[in-house]
Structure 1
Amino acid sequence: MVTVTTRNKIRTSYSTHTDSEESATTQAAKIVNTLVSVILPDFWGTLKSSQSDTSDRRLLIACLTSILGIGSILARLKLLKAELQEKKGNAQNVAELLEVLDVVLQRDDFAQKIWTDINRLEAHAVRRTILWKDFVTQVASGRIISAAAQAENALRASGDVSPGPWLADGSGYARWLGRSIAAMAKTFAERDDTATTAAAQLLEKSFSLGYTSHIIEEIHINLSFARPSLLRNLRKVTEKLRVSDQQRFLQTTLSMLDSKFLQTNLGDGDESAGKLSKAIGGSAALLRDLASNNDRLQDTLVEWLTDDRSGGSTKLRRAALAALQTDEDRMQRVMERNMQQFGDPLFIKHTPIVQQEAIAQTLLVSCGYVHRALPMFLFTLARSSVHMNGVSNRLASSSPRTRWLGMVVGMSVSGLVDKPENQMRFDLEELETVEARWYRDLVHVNDRIGSINDLALNVERTKATSTSASEQPLQSGSRKSISKAALREPIASVPRCSPARSSHNYAIPAGLRIVELSDDSEEDDLVPYTKPDSDPEDDDPDPTLVQRNKPTAPVYIRDLIVGLKDTENYDRHSLALRTAASLIRRKANFGTEVTDHIEELATTLVGLNDTFELDDFHEMRQEAMIAVLLAQPAKMGQWFARTFFEGDYSMAQRVSILTTLGLGARELAGFKSDDVRPSSTKAEPSFPSKRLPDKLHKVYASDSLTVDAQAKRLAHTMIEPMALTAADKLSGPNALKVRTFSSRMEVEKKRTKAIPNELAKLVAQHFFFPLTGRWWTRVRAYGNDNLYFSPILLPAFLKTLSLLLHASGPSTLSLPQMTSEFWDLLLSVRSNALNDPAILEAVLFALLTLLDVNEDQRRLAQEHAKELIETQEWVKLVFERVSGGDEESERVRMLAAGVLVRCGEIVEKFQRLLMGDLVGF
């Protein structure tokens, strides 16, 4: 039947490096294909009977125990399954082939045997690697499970109700794969690094099956629990995995320990929080040995302990902390992160109470370990703002359970670091229950690292899942249980916490009262406080409207940001907004508060919405944004320019950014505040119906703090001298005019003191060119059909550039470059300006500003002759097309006339230069 020679020929399909390698492989494939397609259907029934010669059966299975054998069986099985589904095949052949595959793979050392054959029969290292990858793909990618399951379904559809093999069961196949990996690690990990890498590749690929917990559990059973010394082999295999797979292995191990071992007492009886547990000690030993000398796994353990979503029982967390107890740095990290998270307001408000309890338990246990190793570190951290504010945030919560956790943690930490007379105490019945005492005992937990044998002795009992006494401190019976309903009700009892004797300044919620602890013998020495003066708020007839806990104005930038973001507290939000500008200006040159938080502060102000419909909201926000710009002009000028184009903001918010740049630049240039900001005095309308409601009037009033208002003032300032000059020429000869002289004192009184123009040094690089450069980038990318050509943004953008140019002054070194850039930009939007009056007005104002600032008219005529002539001709066309009659048209005609006058002056004075004839000039 099947001889030893045939088996050896199939084995030599791995072949040595001879010239007949390809032919040998082809011959072996033909032999295996013959065995699977011819021999098995005809003789398997005879071979598996008890009367047959078992040696032939063993030889046949040995021939198929190879990569070629498994591949041939899977291909044949797929073909027979298809024929059976089409009612053309024989169900018995499919069942027998499944049985053969079962027999071939049932050995736990199957992967080890394949690896040994590959290394014994193949000399080339590269070919060995390729063959092993083929094998890993066959057994660990789901091909076998898929083929077996499909074949089983085909058998059932044909009427064969015989139970399918374990190969079609995902969990059973995963456990077999775990045993195969464990056998390889047990045999090779100590002496063969290449085999260890091969085992790691098989383990890594097996994670894709979706039965990771079954695989890892079987590996631990056959290595860690079988003989703890073999854990060294397992560690060598896991070190070859990718970092993400190492973390998955550790997290799955944690889940296995929690569900299989730590949910039962394992003979320890009724455990309290401080009693040692063999299950905890054994789990700690496994985790410590598994993560030994592996910083990545140890850091993963720290992240798991500080993640409120990681889950896990208290015993599992105790085991993880015990595994890290000798690593002082990581233990401190666990305690610090948990303390920060425990007191974080967002965590308190939005995290489920179950997760908050888990973090509190981990924090208390880690505090105990740190206190025993480094008591001064815990003492310092207990006095820090992180812990103090955290407990205060807890006590200020509206949730009774949250307040209860804060009091328990505060009392427990205080009991470790404070003297008995200074320890924090709350006189509440809820803090004297069994659960409260259990929580306070967690700081005294000191689990010792045991032996993995403590788990190995109870592997058979892992299916028993009884609830641990340490996990359920609340039990019925003789012990006093806590009323859950009572914990959910507001705490009406009076906590006793002596502020005079305690160094802790914790904020107590409104529902609690502070009572001084005193002895009767000392009552005579106590001086009572005087009766406070009457509060005007007490006169309110409705006592529910009395607000005692009024917020105070922020004194730190960090508090200001929190207040601006607090859109649920009207008083705090409005107070922060009212004081934002003054606080930022006051802190700008004092310390580094504004510098450290300036971008976050600017982002908060730009994205701020009028949630409470505050009076003067837009003015207050605008003042604060200008203060931010002036705090660091170079940095924030570029930031605001970038945000205008790239930020996800509304049009109104983008206009506010432009207003900040324009008005902030004028203030930086030294203009008076009353010149930048409109006067607070408002003229009353002649008739009430001519005025909008107050809320809408504040938004649409022309004297609001906007770029448009400042542009109108500036346009009037530039046109007024031209009008006066024209009127002066029409009034007659100069000889007939009478000139009045003022005294020297009156002249000096009117003369303004020169202020250094700080903007001139920064305007080009940090304000002007960042805006124009990004504008040109948008035009090249999207053309004229984009957001920045809208009738809302484009006028504001052009007027902002005009204000920047005017504020920088005629002495700015970069004025020629700015003039050239700005003139090209204005001429490029001529067509858009003719279609919209708002854009037309902005373009004319910008041209007037550009001509007014450039006092060197000769340079304009020499360097910008083409632009000057184009501007003059286009403005003439605008002046002719726009007819007067309404206020808007008259304003456009006035600006156009001003531009024509300026252009005419230059053309008339430098006409020869413009024509290129300099002779006689």
Structure 2
Amino acid sequence: MDGFLTEVSTSRAIGKSRETGLQPVQQIGVNDLFVKRSNQTKAQQNAPSSAEDALEILRQEPDHDALISILRLVSREQQQHPSTFNIRRPSPLSAQLVQVLVSEIVPNYWTLLKEDSNTGKNSGPELLLACLRSITGINAILARLRALIREVKSEAGSKTKRPDLSLNIGYLIDVLCNVLKGDGCMREIWQATTAGLEDTRARARPLSQELLAIFGSGRIVGLAAEAFTIGKPDTGNEEIWPADALKYIKWLGQNISAWQLSGPTQEETKFCSDLFAKAMRLGHSDALVKDVLSRLVLTKGADPRAFGLLLSNIPQMEQRKVLFSVLKIFSEQYLNRLGRCDSNESKAPISAVAGALNMIIGSSESGRSHLTEWLTASSEAGLGESVGIRRAVLAITSQDRDNIVAVLEKSINQFGDQLYIKHSPILQQEAHTEVLLLSAGYVQRKSAVKLAMLLRSSVWLNAISNRLGTSHQRARFLGMVVGEALSSLVDKGDKRLSFSVDDTDLDEGRWFKGLVSVADQIGSLDSLLSPLKESTPTAPKKSAPQKFASRRPAAQPPQQGFIIEELSDEEMEDDDITPLAKPDSDAEDSDDDATLVNRDKPKAPVYIRNLIAYLRDSDNYDHQKLALTTVPTLIRRKANYGTEVSEHAEELASLLVGLQNKFEIDSFDDLRLQGMIALVIARPQVMGQWFSKTFFDGDYSVSQRVVILAVIGLSARELAGFESSEYAGAAAFPSKTLPERVERLFISSGSSNAYQQQSSASSLKPLPPNALENVARSLIQSFLAPMAATAADAATGPDVLKLSTFTSRLEEQNFNNPKVTIKSRARPRVRAIPNTTAQLISTSFFSPLAARFQAALHSPASRTRGIVFQPHLLGLYLKTLALLLHAAGPSTLALPHMTAELWRLLLSTSIRSHAVGDLGLTQAILFGFMALLDVNENRMRDVCQELGREVVETQEWVAGVFAGIRGGDGDGEEGQVKMLAAGMLVRLNEEVEKFQVLMAGELIGFN
């Protein structure tokens, strides 16, 4: 190398000597001095002595070796000599260093540093990330991202664009992902920021607040998402998780949990609590609580007291929200699967949940008051959840005599409130009834005198009287059950209250009355830490394959001569032997390359567990196609044979709801919908409530929730006999059916009854995407047809609201059924088959769906309300409720309660306010009123007496809708809405005129 430099130097000296006239010896001396100084500068770059020198070198665009030495120097100073200089502590010098690293070093060296072969803490990327893992580094990255995004937006209208902007944005996003990576990142940033400031809280508090403002707000998620749309970096298989709000929330939960498990100080715990409270307001609060709960409570070696300590430092509103979310998680993961908790095996999980809650709450009075509020609030107590979670909470509340007595007193007051009985969903009333019975049992064991005094008070007597005086059968049943159960605790002999009603002596009544004897204990968490056991049906034993003889049978001697036999025509016709057709050519055989032919095709699943395995294999086209084509038939066939469907119903439903059409399979939506309908038909009591709960609580898109509503509505109509599926015949095995030739002798095409004709006409094959819309249109036509025929006979004066064109337009509109025309003025004949599933539709479909909507209105989660109040989704939800009411029919015993609940829901301010300017939602509300009038046609007197105010308010609202729609003479959406409003107005005017005296008496306070 020395010889090389001497030669170059000599040649340059000779050349310059000719130009300048200097002596060669003098010129060589000058160049030697230059080389010497250059070597000194490189040495200085390779070994900076201080942070100031490092800053100067970084500003002069150092090479790779110089950059690595600078990063090692800064890292060594912040690790070994934190008192001298710390780049992660906020200061003017550290801010300048970080600014140069973010704006200059990252765009130029990040790709090169990632290609470094070294790994570990001393590698180039880790050294750079360590310098940026601070409040100063995060702020610098976000500020640089914001500036680059602003530059990109400013160039949106110009023709010339800088390609380096998107690249730099991509580099910064990748750096941000790596800086925030890991469960200990938050703790490391906080400790580096507040290092040395433990004694001066006045200086540490602003830094902590700054960290909360950065990580506890949507600043990182918003900037990352906006930057990701502009510059998409090539990060390999890693995802840009800071741009996803849900993943960012889970990252916060992981960091908070890891920090709490590491034994934090009091200041660190306070910061974790503040960060947890901030994160609860970012959305996805249930996911955050679930992640923190699973790490701090439901993991072996964890301490639930750490979770309680985390809750004790947050505000009361957030503490209440977190505690209620914890109760919901415990119920969904452990207790809902126990059902009514009749078996002895249910005691262990309930005691374990009670033990976990007791350790979380500890001695906190606010936590116990939140539990008391949860038990007695009008919209709480675990709506739609099993009784297990209420038993667990009452096991904790019963530890204090005053708390359990307060729960019982509030429950009795609420149980007998007339407004509560009249307006609360029946699902909510059943939950509070369970709380009342359970708390009464605890009070009787702790203080029998107190319970006897409560049952002698006027509040208790008025509660039973109000329950027995209500018109709703289910509310009366709950009143009788509670009266008999509590009387059995206090009264003896003939003094016991007995209504002598069969309903209270059935299984359900005995179960309710048995709640007063339930006494749960607070146990250990062992049963919660073990994984849930999923029972899988055992496969039937396969019979041994038949062994055939290896030898061929002896050949028969050939017959001599010809044998001619004459067959009659009848024998020829009855011959079952049909010639085999020529097999079709296989499309795969035509492939030129024989290696591409797939001979190992999977077979159709014959067990539910195989079907689940096929549905989970989302990367295999053959498995997905076979599973979809098999699921409707297999579920219906296995519904009443064995326990496969009942044990895996919820798992199958979850897979079908979340299934995506990855391979663009033909009839994908129809097959998936038919599979879910088959599940509901197989287990209506369980799956009807499951789909109602999933519609509100599941993390699904709007389109998936639309499918859930379609499943609920169409399944209820099939159960009621209004619809029939092409897969319904799969429920019967071939041994239960006649041969096809014999069946033709008994069933001819001309002898089918009216119900068979109706079933074939309304067969669901194939189901269009708007199946519920078509059903609603057909019901609208059947409702308006008689009024249209009557209006055709009258003059076109003001008596019929100018409905001269109403009849002609109704006859021209076919509602997707061109064969339907108005041939008779009489109402359509009621189907021949009786509706025997009215009570099932009421309890398992209508009540859960309506009650959970009321709970969603009062839910603190804004995301739930935002999803429910999507205009199209809300309109379809109202139509589904109307179809359920229509499917239940006029013979439903719970029809008065269903009518009042749906009528008040349609008139609620929250729904009508969203219908302003939205014709689709307005039509859904009108359709709901139409279904109410249609089903209650024979009991309008009772409706006008019980819901007089609602009927008058509905008349005024419909008149306003009719007057507010201008034009509407065509066949568009405005014309359909105005036509439906006109029909509703005619019908309401008739009912109001008929029962106006009765309604006036109701409105002024007497009947």
Q: TM-score, normalised by structure 1?
A: 0.48
